[in-house]
Each structure stands twice: as C-alpha cells, then as structure tokens.
C-alpha cells in the first residue's frame, strides 16, 4: 500500500499566501512611500513659504533702511548747507566789525594837513589817494597807518607835487588784517 501524499495543493496555498502577503506588503510600502513623499513635499512647501516670508521681511526692512539712508543723506546735505551758511554769516559778521575797525584806524591815523580823496577796496586790499601839504606829512601818515591794528604795512606807490606848489598828491595801498576767529581787533 502506498500512501500518496499530495503536497502540491499545500505548496500552492502557501505560495498564494506568500504572494498575497508580498503584494499586500508591496501595496503597504507603496502607500507609506506615497504618504512619506506627500508629507515631505508638504514640509518642503511649508519651509519654502516660511523662507519666502523671511525674504519678504528682509526686503521690506532693506527698503526701509534704504529710505532711512536717503533721508540721512538729505539731512547731511542740508546740514552742510547750513554749516556753509553759518560760515558765511560768521565771516560777514567778522567783516562788518573789521570794516568798522578799518575806518576807525583810518580816521585815528590821519595826520593834520592830510586828507583822503579816494578809497577803493578790492578784497582785503585798500587803495588810498589823498592830498598832503608836504612830504613829511605823507611820511607821518604812512607811519600812522603802519601802527594801526587793523591794517598791515602800507606801500606808497606815488607822490607828486601839484601845480599849486606845496601840495602833494599821493597814492598808497594797504591790506586789512583779518582777525582770527575768537580774536578781536582793538
């Protein structure tokens, strides 16, 4: 008697179970892979949005900073203009006082018998023309101008006798001494 055992249906069943398990595992892994891919794409999309927001914030702050820098540059330009104007006003103020001192020194240095006929100012240089009774008075006038605090050493350019005889016509030039800031001319 021979017993025949049929192993084929059992193997087929086992093979069928393994195949179903394999396909089920494959489907499950595909679902997990798709889910993981979707989750990763959502995560990266969210990170991309967050980075876009950061970039927008930085660009906005950069624009605000550029605007502030432009305003500061404009304010510095206005400041420079104002400082230039203050410098001009200061020099005009010093010049105004200097003019008073120059005329005061011209009057106080005037010698008896001498009179000025013309005065021309070009920058800091003064050109004076005048009349004197004799050469000694012209010399005394030059010494008086040299002693003046607001004037530098005078330079005599010409002396000539007039037709009337004793009267002398003279021309000289002298420079103003501008006081330094804070220094006052007496």
Token pair 């069943």 is at which residue?
A: 13
* 68 pLDDT higher than 60: yes
Q: What's the DSSP call for residue 6?
A: -
Copy the structure tokens of residue 68. Answer: 């502030």
CATH T-level topology, domain 110-176: Gyrase A; domain 2 (3.30.1360)
CA–CA gap between residue 65 and residue 52 (Å, rounded): 20
Q: Residue for token digits 């002693």?
A: 147
How big is the chain by its Cα radius of gyration, in Å? Answer: 53
Q: Which residues contact 81 (CB under 8 A, 6 or more apart)?
A: none
Q: What is the pLDDT of residues 81-139, one digit of tens each?
A: 999 999 998 888 877 777 788 888 888 888 888 888 898 988 788 888 988 888 888 88
What is residue 185's predicted lDDT score, i.e. its pLDDT?
43
pTM over 0.85: no
- Residue 13: pLDDT band (50, 70, 90) is confident
Q: How far apart are CA 78 and CA 72, in angstroms?
A: 10
Q: What is the pLDDT of residues 141-186, one digit of tens each?
A: 888 888 888 888 888 888 888 776 677 888 888 888 765 555 554 4
Token readout for 132 is 């004197």
Contacts of 27 (CB under 8 A, 6+ apart): none
Residue spans of the domains in the chain: they are: 110-176
């Amino acid at each position: 008697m021979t017993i025949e055992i049929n192993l084929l249906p059992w193997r087929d069943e086992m093979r069928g179970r393994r195949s179903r398990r394999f396909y089920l595992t494959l489907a499950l892994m595909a679902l997990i892979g798709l889910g993981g891919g979707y989750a990763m794409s959502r995560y990266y999309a969210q990170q991309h949005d967050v980075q876009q927001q950061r970039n927008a914030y930085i660009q906005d702050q950069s624009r605000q900073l550029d605007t502030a820098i432009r305003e500061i540059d404009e304010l510095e330009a206005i400041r420079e203009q104002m400082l230039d104007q203050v410098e001009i006003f200061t020099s005009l103020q010093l010049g105004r006082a200097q003019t008073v001192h120059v005329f005061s020194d011209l009057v106080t240095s005037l010698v008896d018998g001498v009179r000025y006929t013309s005065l021309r100012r070009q920058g800091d240089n003064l050109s004076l023309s005048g009349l004197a009774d004799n050469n000694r008075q012209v010399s005394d006038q030059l010494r008086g101008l040299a002693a003046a605090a607001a004037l530098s050493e005078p330079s005599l350019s010409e002396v000539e006798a007039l037709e009337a005889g004793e009267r002398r016509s003279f021309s000289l030039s002298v420079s103003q001494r501008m006081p330094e800031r804070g220094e006052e001319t007496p």
